[in-house]
Amino acid sequence: MNLATLQSKELVPGFHGKMVHGNQLTWAFWTVEKGASIPEHQHPHEQIMHVVSGKFEFTLNGETKVYNSGDIVPIPSNIPHSGKALSPCNLMDVFSPVREEYR
85 lies in some domain: yes
Would residue 8 count as lying in a domain? no
Query: How high is the pLDDT of residue 9?
Result: 95
For residues 98 and 27, what is the distance between their CA atoms, to the nearest angstrom?
A: 9
Name the residue type at position 88: P
What are residue 63's DSSP bridge partners?
60
CA dihedral of residues 99, 76, 73, 11 (deg, nearest 10): 30
Give 1-45 pLDDT, tens digit per residue. Answer: 999 999 999 999 999 999 999 999 999 999 999 999 999 999 999
pLDDT tens across 88-98, in order?
Answer: 999 999 999 99
| Number of compact structural domains in the chain | 1
Whether 9 is in a domain gets the answer no
- End-to-end, the C-alpha distance of the chain in Å comes to 16
Kindly calculate the radius of gyration of the chain based on its CA atoms and give it in whole angstroms: 13
Task: Output the pTM of the full model.
Answer: 0.94
Confirm whether 38 is domain-assigned.
yes
In terms of residue numbers, what domain contains 60? 22-102
CATH number of the domain encompassing residue 96: 2.60.120.10
